[in-house]
Structure 1
């Protein structure tokens, strides 16, 4: 377990001041946490009133409480200068600007490839550090609506994730880490007609939800990594952002018999993700591992639970729809791993490869801290970037 004394409140900690969410184990029974209204040291940008009028008039018949409406409401809190940073062209080139690396390491652009950070340059959009109190409150409502209410996943996981990057900043990472390294972009204009993407990301995090005619068209690529891994204390509360995902993977492998584990074991070592940043649509053409059609009903449930650990990072109704599709494809889905079944050692690796779903989890060496930490990724063969390929 990784713990520390409560750090003094830095500019990053004051930014947003989102209440720290305690560690939520798989069996937690506390009630869901509503999006909190954060405080901030910056003030709202000028022109917010006129922006609000403009956004309201463009909302039209947008459903109250929908992601589109909340995106419009967030945009309305921004002045013209901040709106210009937020609103980017809807293009595949912009959609690909996500990475697992801190923004400072992307300033010169980096090539794709496993372990390389991927992408073609720095993230676009509005820096989280530039939002004032009302703007942060509006953003958190949007983020909660887009990422769902499942305990320990979605919105809750992201808040703990931001706490983890603050922890890194205070424990050796310095200014390259923390909430100030996260960016928000709308690729295209949020409306109920046409296509746009809600993009939010920074170190170890990529949210890329694409909406067409008001409905979710794709929620991938979706990247989740974390350092420190395991439980850590931040501002008096315990956090463990990837606890649910890691527990589901461990349960899946532990639920296989020794013979099934042998069938699932890959013949080579995987030191990072195959389909990380910059590796779009590079899905292997040959399945490896054990096919779920040969598993028992209970073992199939374990596979689906591991998949749900990623799908439930999107809005609840959308997640249920996606999970139904993946469940219909379960018999043609494969599970494969390398390293140990504990998934705690460097180069431990697991993947789930189906007709649509692709999920990878890879244990890496520590960068800022000693010990290991995971990278993980959810992709979809047909709906990555909302299906946009050009």
Structure 2
């Protein structure tokens, strides 16, 4: 991605200051070698794209691994995550890492599974007046947030996990339940004609906008928001909000306001079974938004327990609307 030499930056607000302060507090806990490893140049596009649904033994990450952070440093990283994400977003990240702990064991690639094998990196130094990117992720998780003053783009963001049913904080939890419930609620509300427009196939399809798909454009498929009644539009917004609510409150509110303003131009498409939650692929596309939910099945794996899910803003992937050089 080309990088602009100058960027118009809106003045920092309280949230921008809090995020940068938390980022600098984290950096202050690191030694010189660690700081050198974690902060990359802002024009380092190789690092910018160094994320994947695959484990780190398959796709090497950059930055610092959680395994190499002491308790003080991990606590500072958690405080930073708590500023970048909402409480729900932090919980989701920790649930996904807990799920990966269940996959750890033995020799080979599985030895590199688990919550130790998640990385933090900054592309560009944290700043309130210059663009920079915060990255956190590993297997099945990639948080990439570009900050420019008082604005942020959470695109691209990979979530999901395996297994999706885990014991977390003393109770059995299905990681993506809120989003699946919202999507099935919307599908169930459709009448026959609406469902015919929404359902694009009886077989699920695979993730389209995963790693390496910067700049890929998807045509809208499915039923448009313009064809939904008022109650159904609220159900559609609930599906989007289930994912966007992982952003911190400022940025979630801004994104949801933009989504509501374009509700008639959103499209909801469905591929796969309609009566088996967690087995179908679905997608929402619209101005500034593409969301995919993609169940995975490898061999005899249960697709309800393995999902690769993407959020992208095609107009602002990696903050391109703010930082890409004009042609």
TM-score scaled to structure 2, two decimals? 0.87
2:120 matched to 1:188?
no
Q: Is the 8 A contact 2:224 2:266 kept in 1?
A: yes
Question: Is 1:271–1:364's contact at 8 Å kept on the other side of the alignment?
Answer: no
Counterpart contact for 2:201–2:270, Cα < 8 Å: no
The answer (yes or no) to whether the contact 2:295–2:303 under 8 Å persists in 1 is no
**For 1:298, which of 220, 223, 231 is the aligned residue?**
231
Answer yes or no: is 1:317 the counterpart of 2:253: no
Work out whether 1:132 is the aligned partner of 2:70: yes
Greater helix share, 1 or 2? 2
The equivalent position to 1:103 in structure 2, one of 56, 64, 70, is 56
1:155-189 deviations in whole A, cap 9, x for unaligned?
11111111111112159973121012210001100
2:267–2:284 Cα contact (<8 Å) kept = yes
Q: 1:350 to 1:369 in 2, by over 3 A?
A: closer
Q: Which runs of 4+ in 1 moved over 3 A?
A: 61-65, 170-174, 234-237, 267-270, 342-346, 366-372
Structure 1: 5+ residue stretches without partners: 1-60, 107-121
Question: Separation in 1 of the partners of 2:201 and 2:299?
Answer: 27
Contact kept? 1:205, 1:223, Cα under 8 Å: yes
Cross-structure match for 1:10: none
Q: Deviations 1:216-252 (Å, cap 9, x if unpaired)?
A: 33111011121112x3225854332222122222212
CA distance in 2, matches of 1:81, 1:100: 28
C-alpha contact 2:269 2:282 (8 A) present in aligned 1: yes
Distance in 1, matches of 2:115 and 2:317, equals 26
SS of the aligned residue for 1:66 comes to helix
CA contact (8 A) 1:253 1:261 kept: yes
Q: Aligned ranges for residues 26-175 of structure 1 at < 5 Å? A: 66-91=18-43, 92-106=45-59, 122-149=60-87, 153-169=88-104, 174-175=110-111
TM-superposed deviation, 1:368: 9.4
* Structure 1 residues 219-368: aligned runs within 5 Å: 219-229=154-164, 231-233=165-167, 236-267=170-201, 269-284=203-218, 286-342=219-275, 344=277, 346=279, 348-366=280-298
**Aligned pair in 2 of structure 1 residues 341, 389: CA closer, same or farther (>3 Å)?**
farther
- Once the 2 structures are TM-superposed, how far is the Cα of residue 315 of structure 1 from its aligned partner? 0.6
Distance 1:167 1:105 in 2: 18
Distance 2:141 2:123 in 1: 17
TM-aligned CA deviation for residue 343 of structure 1: 5.6
On the 8 A contact 1:264/1:335 being kept in 2, the answer is yes
